[in-house]
Amino acid sequence: MSVFVIDDLFKVRPLFMQRPIWYIAILFLTGTSCKTTADNVVGTYEKEGTTTRLLIKKDKTFEFIGPENASTEYSLKPAANQNIFTAGSWDLSNHQLLLNSSMADSLEYESETTDSITRFTTITSFNFWNRYGEPVRIRSIRFPSSKPKPHFGNSIYLFSQDFKATDTLVFYLEGYPDFSYPGTIPYALGNNTHKIILREHYRPAVFKQNAFRCKKNKMFGAENNLSFSKKK
């Protein structure tokens, strides 16, 4: 025996043809999640496999870290693959995200390398981080009287007894200037832990009404090849 249901339009349909409530809910959520709103664009976006970061904040401001040649709007060209830092405001127009960098230099943002040192540990270590506490990869290291050697990760451990105060270690970093020890920071006696915070140089007027299209957890530059994925 078949069971029938009468709907709002007085059409008689078999029960098995009725759409369950979860199906309707999925359609509703799918439709609304595709819309670009101030709430769903907020977050941290990254370019996979790089040190590029874009932070969209609730207060309608943004911060960007990335190579200066990543956008056709950039006017200055630092050393290859070195990151810059810019900040400004964002807005939504026609379902697109518009970025505008601050036009003037900002004194609010530090642009120097700092060493948060823990003294007299059992072993010496160097580890590198960006201003947001994310690891910065060491591409290679040049030890005294040797050629650069490839390295993986953002840290290295060694004994200070193996080096003289006149020896120099050079770290080649992804997205940042070379780091020398001693040199970038002064020599420290004994074994110590060096937590190195790297801060990019600030650049004004980098983004000028640059438009980005948002699609789910992706963001695409309408005027360049920039594309980001939302960080989970």
Closest CA to 199 of 65, 56, 80, 50: 65
HSE-up (13 A, CA, CB side) for residue 32: 9
pLDDT of residue 122: 96
Burial class (CB in 10 A: 0-12, 13-18, 19+), 69: middle
pTM for this model (two decimals): 0.76
**Residue-wise pLDDT tens for the chain (232 aa)?**
544 444 444 344 554 445 555 444 444 444 444 477 888 899 999 988 788 899 999 999 999 998 866 554 443 444 557 899 999 999 998 889 999 998 766 556 666 899 999 999 999 999 999 999 999 999 999 999 899 999 999 999 999 888 888 899 999 999 999 999 999 999 999 999 999 999 988 888 888 898 998 888 888 886 666 788 998 7
3-state secondary structure 73-111: CCCCCCCCCCEEEEEEEEEEECCEEEEEECCCCCCCCCC
Q: Show the domains of the chain with their CATH numbers.
A: 38-108+202-230 (2.40.128), 114-199 (2.60.40)
Torsion of CA 175, 133, 221, 85, to 10 degrees: -60
